[in-house]
Every structure is written in C-alpha cells, then in structure tokens.
Amino acid sequence: MSSLNAGFDVRRSGTGVLTIGKEIGYEALPLAQMDFDKSKKDFRILFVNPPVDFSVFYSDMDLSDTKSSSPPIGILHLAAMAREYGYEVKLVDAHAEGVTIPQFLKIVADYQPTVVCLTAMTIMIDASAELAKAIKEFFPSVITMIGGVHLTAEPTKTLRQYPQFDFGVVGEGEIVLIDFLDAVLNHRPFESVQSLVWKDGETLRVNPRRSFFKNLDEFPFPAFDLVGQRLFSHYRLSVFGTKQFRSVGLVTSRGCTGLCTFCDLGVVGRGYRFMTADYLIGNLKELNERYQVNDLLFYDDMFTGNRKRLEAFCQAMVEAGTPFTWSCCSRVDFVSYLDLLKLMKQAGCHTIEFGVESGCQRILDSMRKNTTKEKIREVISRTTDVGIITKANFILGHLGETHDSIQETIEFAGSLNVNYVQHTHLVPLPGSEIYESAGKHGTFDGSWSKMNTLLINFIPFGFTRKDLVWYSKAFWRSFYLRPRVIWQEMQKIHSWEGVYRLWLAVKSFLKVTLGRKTTLRTHSGKVGLIH
C-alpha cells in the first residue's frame, strides 16, 4: 500500500459503492453511461496539484523544512478561466495540504466532479498518475485529464504508460479546457478540440496543436480566492527572492526569446507574450487589499523580456504608489542599462536572479546563452551597485563539462560582485534539445521519477557521481564561507523575522555541505546508497 494511503480504510463493496471508513453511497457509472445533459453549474471541475514529497530525494541533504512552496499559479489560471465561463470549480493542493489518497477520494466523493484536472512536471507525473488511478478505480465515470510540461513533451508516451488518464492537454490549457468542456456538454466530436490527446477506442489520437494565445490581458487573473487565507498558512516562498513572508508568486508573461539547449518551453513557446502594466497594476492592488500581500516574486522565465513593458510597469508602480516590493528573474543582456536598473529599484525591485549557468565560456557557448563572462560580471556588478540584491544561478555537469570547467565555474562565482549563488545539477528534461543526445555525452538515467535537479541523473563522461557531489559541496563552501559573505548576512538582521530567515538559510547550507553520504529513497519507499 502506498504511503499516501496510510491511516484510512479504503475499500469498495461488492455493489461498487465506495467506502472510506464508512459508506458514502456514491455509485459509479461507466464513462459511456454518464449523462452530460446538464447545466454548466452542475458540471463540476476539480483541479488538483499532486502530492510530491521532495524530502524523498536526499536524506542528508533534505531541504523539506526550508523548501519554498507556492500556490499552483497555472492551475489557478485554469480555474479562473473555467469559472469565467460559468463552471463550478474547486482546488485541491495535495502537495501543500498533505492530502493522502484516502482523503482525496473522500473529497471526490463529496464534491462529485464531472472532470478532475491534474497537472504535472516530469518529476510529478507518477504522483498525478497515482491519484488518477485511484479515481478510476472508485469513480470510473469521472473524467481524468492531465496537462502541464511533461504531457506536452511526451503526450503519447504518457497516456500509453498511464491509461488512467482519459485526456491530455498539450501546451497552454485555458482555451483548450473550455473547448473540451463545451465539446462534452454539446456532444461535439473530440476531433474538433485542438491540442487534445485522447483515446479513440484502442487508438491514441493527438489533435493538431492550437496556436499560442496572444493577448494575456484577456485571461482572468489567477483565482487566489480558491486558496484564500491559506496563502500564508500553507505556502512559504523561498527566503531568497522575497523580502518578507507575506509574499506571493506570480507569472505575468509566457515564453522566452532565448535558445538555451537545456530548457523546454513547449507549453509556452519561444515567443514572448505578456500581461500589460495596466492589467497587472489593477490586479496587484486587489491582492493587497484582499489578502494584504505586499511582496511579489515574479516567476516568469524572463520578466524583463520586453523593455517597453518593463518600463511601463515600473513607472506605473512608482506613480500609483503601490505598497509592493518585488523580485524577478532575468538574463543579463536584458537589464544592462543603468537607467533601467535605477527605475526598477525605484519601483520596488529588491532582488534579481540571473541565469548565469556557467563560468566557462566554452560551456556558455555550447548552452547557447549568447553572452560572455565579461558581460555577466559587468551587469551583476552594476545591479548590485544600484542597491538591488543579486543572485546568480548555475548548472553543474553540463554536456561537455570537464573538471577544469567546473573549477572555473566555482572560481568565477566567487569572483562576482553578487549577493547569493545557487546551483543545480543538469537535468536533460523531455522536450529540451539535449534530452535525446544526453546519452552520447555521459551516463543518463532518463527515469521520469528522477527528473529533479536535486538528483544527479546525468553524469558527464570523465566524472563519477562522487565527483559531482564533491564539486557541489565545494561550490557552496567556496562562496558562502567567505568572511565578506558572512558579514553581509549578519548586517541584514534587524528583526526576529530576519533571524529566522537567516536560520533557515544556514540550516539549508549545513545540510547540503556537511552530509557525508547521499541516500536515495525511491517512490516505493526502498532506500539505497548512491556511490
């Protein structure tokens, strides 16, 4: 029995009635027998963020007590769209709320949804499939639908491997979901729904893909009311990139103009689309008034992707006198101008995360980062000088990596005028350019359940797993154990909240750098030592 099932008696009687501790009296019907001749208000949609326990990956590098978690913004967008079209919606964030499968089934029995919409990154697909399997076992008449980046990258393989998913959505889901619901309600053929993956008897069909939606202002703002005051009881954003605990993460643009080989932008595309400044300001004011949110973490892959939009947003923030501070991610070449950085600072920007990735120019070129070490150094230093906190993100173990190139990256990180650094291990994700070729450059474990940057699932030729673990710890120690960095953090302590935030960061650092062995606990619960 899955650990998610612990603590509940889950069984089905001979009559097909679900029992969870007691009889609920929900009689399941086969999909073909369902009566869809009902009004929209009776057509209930349950949106689900699956439970993923990230502590299962590293036992001695467990960051589960300091990890960040954010409301599932993508799901909240979908729910807002469905509700705008008159459908009844409900959210279950099984990850944030620690919902077990029996508890989830009780929710399904009580709510009696027509459709359950699940999402999944690659690392989450097993958890979503486990929930869908439970739904189909006890409620076979309920339609299960899967979307997200993993399904977009591997649509046919995913539905073949997990037949408990009835339908899949490729790419952006808002319009596809509405089109699908309309097809069900009005008995239209599923062939008419673009970007839909579905089963036609024994045949798996992938419909032509819908073009990306251009005007994001036409989408409703995320349905934060489905989370309500749980914004701060169930979620805590990273201590890096937030100024205080009343922070909310947002995505205000889609797509990226970059061509990085390790990135999969299949869901949102390579073009850059964004919500306008006026649209954002209006919704941000509502967040503040309704939930007292006063700090924002923009999760956009490239919040700074359009300078005109960025300047308009900053100017509007200044003119409106909004009470927000905020952070964002950026490429160095998009915020290289001093006047722009000063405007961002004036508008409340306190932190910028830069995707630096490597300190070796050869590796940067192979990644197609389209920048130089000199440019990185210049922009980060300029950003720090105007009073904006800087964070540089790196990837260790890229294709073509050598011991010299990793050492060069470690030294480069230490030489930057940057406040914080972060690194991950390379994960050749499905849909990325390097996914199919990774095995030619090293040892690659392509198991979907291991597609997490805390795990080392790709080992370049010339390295062992032990080597990469050693370099990982050396990276952290070489940067954060310098007197300048320690003194910098001590100066930021002005309150008990500051003490607590520093403690969280120190605890994470100690767990990452002091662990002597790396233990992997698999999804089944078995434990093994990784050498």
CATH of the domain at 124: 3.40.50.280
Tell me, yes or no, whether 243 and 335 share the same domain: yes
How do residues 137-152 score in pLDDT, each as one tens digit?
999 999 999 999 999 9
- Residues 295, 247: contact at Cβ < 8 Å? yes
Residue 36 has pLDDT above 60, yes or no: no
Cα end-to-end distance, the chain, whole Å: 29
Q: How many CB atoms lie within 10 A of CB 510?
A: 11
Q: Does a structural domain hold residue 46? A: yes
For residue 216, being part of any structural domain is answered with no
Residue 16 has pLDDT above 60, yes or no: no
Each residue's pLDDT tens digit, 71-105: 899 999 999 999 999 999 999 999 888 899 999 99
- For residue 64, name the pLDDT band (cuts at 50, 70, 90): very low
Q: Which residues, 6 or more positions from 43, have their beta carbon under 8 angstroms from its beta carbon?
A: 36, 87, 88, 114, 115, 181, 185
User: What tens digit of pLDDT does each residue of 509-529 get?
Assistant: 666 666 544 332 222 332 222
In 3D space, the residue among 170, 380, 370, 366 whose CA is nearest the CA of residue 269 turns out to be 170
Same-domain pairing of 194 and 246: no
User: Which residue type is seen at 148?
Assistant: G
pLDDT at 65 over 70: no
pTM of the model: 0.84
Regarding whether 256 and 130 lie in a shared domain, the answer is no
User: In the 3-class helix/strand/coil scheme, how is 178-226 assigned residue by residue?
Assistant: HHHHHHHHCCCCHHHCCCEEEEECCEEEECCCCCCCCCHHHCCCCCHHH
pLDDT band at 270; cut points 50, 70, 90: confident
Using one digit for the tens of pLDDT, what is the confidence trace for 411-470?
A: 999 999 999 999 999 999 999 999 999 999 999 998 988 888 778 999 999 999 999 999
- In this model, does residue 328 exceed pLDDT 60? yes
Specify the higher pLDDT residue, 406 or 1.
406
Q: Output the pLDDT for position 246.
A: 75
Is residue 111 in some structural domain? Answer: yes
Structure tokens that stand for 93 in this block: 């964030």
* Same structural domain, 183 and 287: no
Mean pLDDT of 314-320: 92
pLDDT at position 18 is: 38
Which pLDDT belongs to residue 182?
93
**Are 180 and 248 found together in one domain?**
no
CATH number at residue 315: 3.20.20.70
Backbone angle region of 228, left / alpha / beta, with phi > 0 → left and psi within -120 to 50 → alpha: left
Same-domain check for residues 281 and 430: yes
| 447 is a domain residue | yes
Query: Residue 12 above 50 pLDDT?
Result: no
Confidence at residue 466, expressed as pLDDT on a 0 to 100 scale: 93
The answer to whether residue 227 sits within a structural domain is no
Number of domains in the chain: 2
Q: Do 202 and 241 fall into the same domain? A: no
Is residue 36, in this structure, part of any structural domain at all? yes
Q: Which domain holds residue 457?
A: 237-491
Whether residues 93 and 133 fall in one domain:
yes
In a domain, 212, yes or no: no
Tell me: do 290 and 428 sit in the same domain: yes
In a domain, 497, yes or no: no
| Mean pLDDT for all residues in the chain | 83
Query: Is the pLDDT at 235 greater than 80, yes or no?
Result: no
- Model confidence over 378-411: pLDDT tens digits? 999 999 999 999 999 999 999 999 999 999 999 9
